[in-house]
Amino acid sequence: MEEIKFSEKSLALVNKIIKRYPEGRQKSALLPILHVAQAEFDGWLSPAVMDLVASILKIKPIEVYEVASFYSMYNLEPVGKCLIEVCQTGPCWLRGSDDIVEHLQNKLNIKVGETTADGMFTLKTVECLGSCGTAPMLQCGAKFHENLTTEKVDALVEDLRSANARSSYMR
């Protein structure tokens, strides 16, 4: 079995992040280091990757698992090239996020938590993404898509498919 380790560039960033915190408080670097790890290891955090993070921070693996499993921004299973996260909190729900989720499930032929057979799309529901005034909304990568309608969702999916044809990596 191949040993999992950070690239030199990512390890340098991890060490820079750790130095932001006082000695003995390296656990405070956990959230940003999990972001680095997720970016480095194909968009998700396997148990082996979380164990690596724990060893670097000199904390127990369970401490990493607890944090990674609490926040929806961390993926504990492989995800598609385009991770579509639909907000399901009150304001979005009141303005039709359930309809958007159902539409995406039908359009992509997957359920929430699944990835399309071609590995292109993963659909998740998440708690508040902080865009209540423009509900319903979703996030794909770092971009918010707001005031959604089924037509806007269809256009987004087609744009993402077109972008994938031009680029081999969307995350």
How many Å apart are CA 62 and CA 64, to the nearest integer? 5
**Cβ atoms < 10 Å from Cβ of 81:** 21
pLDDT at residue 81 in the model: 92
Q: Where in the chain is the domain with CATH 1.10.10?
A: 8-70
Extract the tokens encoding 16.
Answer: 């820079």
- 128 labeled binding residue: yes
> What's the pTM?
0.81
The predicted pLDDT at position 69 comes to 95
132 is in an annotated binding site: yes
Return the CATH architecture of domain 82-166.
3-Layer(aba) Sandwich (3.40)
140 is in an annotated binding site: no
At position 116, the amino acid (one-letter code) is T
* CATH class of domain segment(s) 8-70: mainly alpha
Planar angle of CA 72, 39, 138, nearest 5 degrees: 40
Helix, strand, coil share (%) of the chain residues, nearest 5: 50, 10, 40
CATH 3.40.30.10 intervals, the chain: 82-166
Distance between alpha carbon 28 and the CA centroid of its chain, in Å?
Answer: 20
Tens of pLDDT, residue by residue, the chain (171 residues) = 568 999 999 999 999 999 999 988 999 999 999 999 999 998 999 999 999 999 999 999 999 999 999 998 999 999 999 999 999 999 999 999 999 999 999 999 999 999 999 999 999 999 999 999 999 999 998 899 999 999 999 999 999 998 875 554 344
Residue 155 backbone dihedrals phi, psi, to 5 degrees? -65, -40
SS3 state at 87? strand
**Alpha carbon distance 86, 64 (integer Å):** 25
Q: Is 82 annotated as a binding residue?
A: no
